[in-house]
Amino acid sequence: MLNTYPLTNQFILENKLPYNHMLRSIEADSFPSILLLFENFFSLNAIDGYEKKCKQIIDNPIIRDHTVEGIIQWHSILAELEAIYMLQSQFNMQVNKFDYHNPSSIKQDNDVDIVASKEGSAYLFEVKNNSQDHIQALPTNVLKLIRDTDFGYSIIVDSIDDQLEVTNVRQLAMAIQLHIRDHELNLTEEISKEMWLPSNLRCGGVVIRFLNTKQQRIVPWYVVPLSSDGLERWLFSDETGKIAEALEKGADYLMCKIRIYDTLSEVLDSVFPTYRKTGNNTVSIKDKRLKDLSGIILFDQHDQFYLLNNGKKPIHLYPFR
């Protein structure tokens, strides 16, 4: 990490982050995209609100034996850093402030996450991560299996079932071991296990993903993707909807990092059926449910997004190519 991500390495050392802090446990070979987000953020140290954002990273409670609370906070931080990088790299915007209090905000103690500008106009962005509401702890028997069994690889368990139950962990263990055995039968002297990892294994409602890390990595949680209907409730629920939260803070745009079953195009068809496409990644929606919001930015990754302009103070991206 020292040479490739010098600002991140400097931050870790200067703030004496403990060895069990998540940022310190990230390995450059396994998660280069995450480290890129941190490296970009640490280059913005002259921006108002930078120190406050750094404190959130330092105080983040997540450790190698993760807690669900820590995971929620960690994913919130990552969503904000990805939003920052996306505004710069995809929207060609200049980031001006972090955690800014809009005087027109309904609540005095609420700050918007990012202020960025383009073509002489400033925009206020509130960032939400829908996976933080859908993180579940792994069943105890599955967690015990992962902790007690040396499979030769670090394992992450994911799920497509929001009520995950694994009644036969012995069968799951055998499926993992057979999958690894079949994989390693194809290894040669030229292709080692460090170079070629087993493919993802789906067993019932469980998806097993393999990582090559120096130490066994235990992730006792999984994220449940939302359906388009679930995303619509998450956005527009009267009391807890993210649209309402963004409006309370006086934001112009709501940026949503989403984990969904459907593609982004399918989300548009389901949640915003009257949209009109205006560019490669931009649509016009004119949705009364957004009230005074200028729009929404839905993104899965920083380069996979849709900008939904609601007709007020729109952001303009590149035209069709």
- What is the pLDDT, as a whole number, of residue 321? 27
106 and 194 in a common domain: no
- Give mean pLDDT, residues 226-254: 86
pTM recorded for the entire structure: 0.74
**Do 250 and 277 meet the contact criterion of CB atoms below 8 Å apart?**
no
| Domain stop point among 223, 240, 256 | 223
Beta-strand (E) ranges in 139-216?
A: 154-159, 201-203, 206-211
High-pLDDT (> 70) share of the chain, %: 77
Q: Examine the pLDDT at 318 and tell me if it is beyond 50.
A: no
Range of lowest pLDDT (45-59, 72-86, 148-162, 197-211)? 148-162
Looking at residue 217, its amino acid is R
| Domain stop point among 166, 193, 223 | 223
- What is the pLDDT, as a whole number, of residue 72? 75
- What is the pLDDT, as a whole number, of residue 188? 72
List, for residues 274-316, the tens digit of each pLDDT value.
899 988 889 999 899 999 999 999 998 878 888 999 977 788 7
pLDDT band at 90 (very low <50, low <70, confident <90, very high): very high
169 and 201 in a common domain: yes
Q: How many domains does the chain have?
A: 2
pLDDT band at 118 (very low <50, low <70, confident <90, very high): very high
Q: Which of 205, 201, 34, 60 is nearest to 136 (CA)?
A: 205
- What is the pLDDT, as a whole number, of residue 222? 59
Q: How far is the C-alpha of 189 from the C-alpha of 293, rounded, in Å?
A: 58
- What is the pLDDT, as a whole number, of residue 320? 31
> Is residue 318 in some structural domain?
no
Q: Examine the pLDDT at 65 and tell me if it is beyond 50.
A: no
245 and 214 in a common domain: no
